[in-house]
Structure 1
C-alpha cells in the first residue's frame, strides 16, 4: 500500500513536467521544461499525455535536438513508461 501511495505521488509530480501554456513560453523554456523539468509552471498533464509529448519530440530527432538531448528525452520516456507500468500493476 505504501508503494502505491508513493507511486501515485510520483505520478502527480511527474504530471507537471510539460507546459500547458506552451504558447507563452520561449523555445528555450520549452526545451528546459521537456529535458530537465525546469521552468514548467502551471502545467498539468497525465502520464499518458506526457508519454505522447515525449514520443512526438523524440520523433523530431536530430533536426531539432542534439544526441544528448534525445538521450535525455528517451530516459524521461522510459521513466514515464515505468511509472505507468508500476501504477497499472497496483490495480491488478
Structure 2
C-alpha cells in the first residue's frame, strides 16, 4: 500500500515537470513553476530534479525571490520522493 502511494505521488510530481514552450516567459520554465504551458509528456523524477536545479541556478536574473522559494520547495519534494522510492523494501 505504501509503495502504491509513493508511485501515485511520484506520478503527480511528474505531471507538471515537462518543459514549457511559451514564447514570452522571460526564460522562466512555467511548467516547473506553476504547471502552465506543459505538453502531454512526463519526465522521470531524476529529470525533474535536474530541470529544477538548472532553473534555480538562473537565480534572481530570471525568477523572483518567491518563485525561487517555490522551485526550491519543489526540488526538496522531488528529492524526498526519489529517496523514498530508493529505500530498501520498495
TM-score band, normalised by shorter chain: 0.7 to 0.9
DSSP 3-state at the match of 2:15:
coil
TM-score (norm 2): 0.83
Distance in 2, Cα, partners of 1:32 & 1:90: 35
Q: CA 1:27 to 1:81, structure 2 compared with 1: closer, same or farther past 3 Å?
A: farther
Contact 2:59–2:68 at 8 Å: present in 1 too?
A: yes
Note if contact 1:4-1:90 (Cα within 8 Å) is conserved in structure 2.
Answer: no
Task: Give, in whole Å, the separation in 1 of the partners of 2:13 and 2:72.
Answer: 15
Question: How does 1:52-63 map onto structure 2 within 5 Å?
Answer: 52-63=50-61
- TM-score (ref. length: structure 1): 0.81
Does the alignment pair 1:8 with 2:10?
Answer: no
Match of 2:16 in 1: 17
C-alpha separation between the residues in 2 aligned to 1:43 and 1:70? 24
Offset of 1:16 from its aligned partner?
1.9
Structure 2 unaligned blocks of 5 or more: none
Runs of 4+ in 1 over 6 A off after TM superposition: none
Q: Is structure 2 residue 76 aligned with structure 1 residue 51? A: no
For 1:7 and 1:60, how far apart are their aligned partners in 2? Answer: 30
